[in-house]
């Protein structure tokens, strides 16, 4: 028996396949009963940006979306936002194992028969490391109430239920609707064959994910001025009583990458960043903070 176990282990190594720290199946079904399944997980050797065949990932980006129903994990939203200095190869896959601490994937859905129902096993997320895991139509970094979307929900906590039925993340008049990339929509895109592809996110993490939309980020929001916006790089910050001295300024791009921003008492400088849309987090000495979406455009005068 020991010899057989050792042989099986050697065979796994010879195949070059990794086991991952965590993975789960997410199943999708359209209104006509058509089905598709994704496998999502994370591992130290995973990658959000590239395909790793050792995890059984396969790039199917060269295969057009099915004409009726097709669900994929992609980095299409990052490719579309090329001005974010994102230079990885486009991939579409049915399986994606990402690396900590990012632990988020973009899910693209083409469906003729909406709504679509997603289902999963909630027991897999009922632990301290994963009890904040989410399914959302909003970019995994920007969170709720910060960005517009078209679907019928903001977020689903995966350990709280086992399925959800949702609508397309694009408007009914998508053929005439102008996608506001400057305002960072990225709710959907049009593929090479002219089909609308709705985009969603799965984010894996602990309960701190659930607090990112709390009021503490917006305290005294109406008493704070951040201008100009759009900006060519220099941002003025003005606030009334209620905040102390500014302690730090952080910027977050579309991929969730964080940047430390140089600042003075009331000015922040994002000139070194590429043009695009960022979330700026301003934190004060007394612990209060707020987040503001800012567009960096070097052509602005």
pLDDT in tens, 227-265: 888 899 999 988 766 667 888 888 877 656 778 899 988
Collapsing DSSP states into helix, strand and coil, what is residue 125? helix
Q: Which pLDDT belongs to residue 252?
A: 79
Collapsing DSSP states into helix, strand and coil, what is residue 15? helix
Q: What is 252-265 written as a DSSP string?
A: E-TT--EEE-EE-S
Q: Tell me the HSE value of 296 on the side-chain side, using a 13 A CA sphere.
A: 22
Q: Which pLDDT belongs to residue 113?
A: 97
The answer for 117, left when phi > 0, alpha when psi is -120 to 50, beta otherwise, is beta
Residue tagged 């910027």 (tokens)? 251
Q: Which pLDDT belongs to residue 62?
A: 97
Nearest residue to 235 via CA among 297, 167, 170: 297
> Domain extents for the chain?
15-211, 215-296
pTM confidence score = 0.68
Distance CA 165, CA 113 (A): 12
* 132's tokens: 């904040």
* Adjacent-strand bridge partners of 23: 41
Distance CA 117, CA 29 (A): 5
Distance CA 267, CA 277 (A): 18
Q: Which residues of the chain have pLDDT under 70?
A: 1-19, 81-85, 140-148, 177-186, 208, 210-223, 240-243, 254-256
In angstroms, what CA-CA distances link 107 with 175, 226, 233? 21, 33, 32
Q: Which pLDDT belongs to residue 212?
A: 55
Q: Which pLDDT belongs to residue 183?
A: 39
Q: Which pLDDT belongs to residue 110?
A: 98
Distance CA 297, CA 270 (A): 10
Q: Which pLDDT belongs to residue 164?
A: 95
289 sits in which H/E element = strand 289-296
Distance CA 75, CA 143 (A): 18
Q: Which fold has domain 215-296?
A: Immunoglobulin-like (2.60.40)
Q: How many CB atoms lie within 10 A of CB 278?
A: 24
Q: Which pLDDT belongs to residue 201?
A: 93
Distance CA 164, CA 116 (A): 8
């Amino acid at each position: 028996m020991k010899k057989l176990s050792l042989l099986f282990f050697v065979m796994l190594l010879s195949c070059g396949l990794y086991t991952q720290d965590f993975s789960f199946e997410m199943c999708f079904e359209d209104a006509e009963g058509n089905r598709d399944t994704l496998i999502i997980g994370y591992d130290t050797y995973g990658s959000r940006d590239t395909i790793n065949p050792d995890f059984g990932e396969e790039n199917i980006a060269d295969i057009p979306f099915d004409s009726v129903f097709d669900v994929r994990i992609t980095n299409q939203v990052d490719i579309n936002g090329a001005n974010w200095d994102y230079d990885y190869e486009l991939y579409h896959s049915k399986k994606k194992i990402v690396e900590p601490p990012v632990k988020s994937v973009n899910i693209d859905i083409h469906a003729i028969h909406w709504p679509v129902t997603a289902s999963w096993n909630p027991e897999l997320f009922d632990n301290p490391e994963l009890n904040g895991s989410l399914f959302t139509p909003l970019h995994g970094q920007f969170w709720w109430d910060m960005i517009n979307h078209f679907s019928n929900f903001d977020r689903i906590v995966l350990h709280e239920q086992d399925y959800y039925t949702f609508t397309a993340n694009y408007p009914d008049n998508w053929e005439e609707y102008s996608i506001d990339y400057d305002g960072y929509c990225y709710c959907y895109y049009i593929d090479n064959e002219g089909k609308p592809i709705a985009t969603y996110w799965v984010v894996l993490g602990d309960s701190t994910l659930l607090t990112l939309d709390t009021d503490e980020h917006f305290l005294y929001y109406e008493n704070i001025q951040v201008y100009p916006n759009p900006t060519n790089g220099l941002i003025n910050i003005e606030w009334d009583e209620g905040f102390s001295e500014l302690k730090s300024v952080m910027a977050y791009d579309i991929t969730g990458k964080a940047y430390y921003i140089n600042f003075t008492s009331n000015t922040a400088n994002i000139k070194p960043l590429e043009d695009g849309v960022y979330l700026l987090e301003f934190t004060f000495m007394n612990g209060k903070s707020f987040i503001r979406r800012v567009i960096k455009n070097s052509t602005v005068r």
